[in-house]
Each structure stands twice: as structure tokens, then as C-alpha cells.
Amino acid sequence: MSSFAELNAFVEQWDRQDDGRRIGSGSQTSAEDFALERPLLTPLPVEPFETGRLFTPRVDRYGQIPVRTNRYSVPIRLIGMRVRIILHASHLVVYDQNMRLPGTSG
């Protein structure tokens, strides 16, 4: 796949092919099951919600914070303080109180 558009087209094609699949010995297809369930689904929330995991590590004497099995450097002025971090699937955001630290992705 060379682009998201190409990937999305592939997923949409796969999804259409999957509509006719029967699960186990079920009498209905995936598309028929979904048609029955669709009215029962609740709408997505209007307000955005945080999808990352929150941690509040203390900055060690080397100016680093432990996050799971990794260590990340933060400004040395934070040594001894707790910082708030949000760990996402592909990036980490570090906050000093309510301010995002420069250089953190997100």
C-alpha cells in the first residue's frame, strides 16, 4: 500500500466481500446480522475523548521518567517532581502541570 486512500479502498473492498460471510453455522450473513444490530448502536460522543493511557511518574535525579519498560528524558528543572504523561499507541505527550512540554509529539 502506498497511500491511505489505497489502503482505505482495499479495506472497503474486503468489507463488501465479508458482508456475505456466515459465522459458524449461523443462518444469517454478517451484513444481515449488522442490519439487525445497527438500530441498537449508540451514536459516537459529540465531544472528543482521550484515547491514551495516563501515567504520573516522578522525574528521577537524571532527568528521566520511567514509562512502562522505557525511560524518557525531560528538562532537568523537573527533577523530583511528578509529571503527567499520556501514552498513545505511537507517541508520548509529557505535561508539566497543564503545559505540554516542547518536543513531545501529539
Phi, psi of 20 (to 5 degrees): -90, 0
Grid coordinates representing 24 are 459458524
Nearest to 72 by CA among 84, 83, 63, 61: 63
User: Could you give the 3-state DSSP secondary structure of residue 99?
Assistant: strand
Q: What's residue 96's pLDDT?
A: 83
CA distance 11 to 69: 34
Task: Write down the pLDDT at residue 24.
Answer: 87
Residue 52: predicted pLDDT: 94
Residue 73 has what pLDDT?
94
Q: What is the pLDDT of residue 41?
A: 96
DSSP E strands, 1-106: 53-55, 64-67, 70-73, 84-87, 92-96, 99-100
pLDDT of residue 49: 85
Mean pLDDT by 10 residues, the chain (106 residues): 87 91 88 94 90 94 95 94 93 82 62
Note the pLDDT of residue 54. Answer: 94
In angstroms, the CA 30 to CA 17 distance is: 10
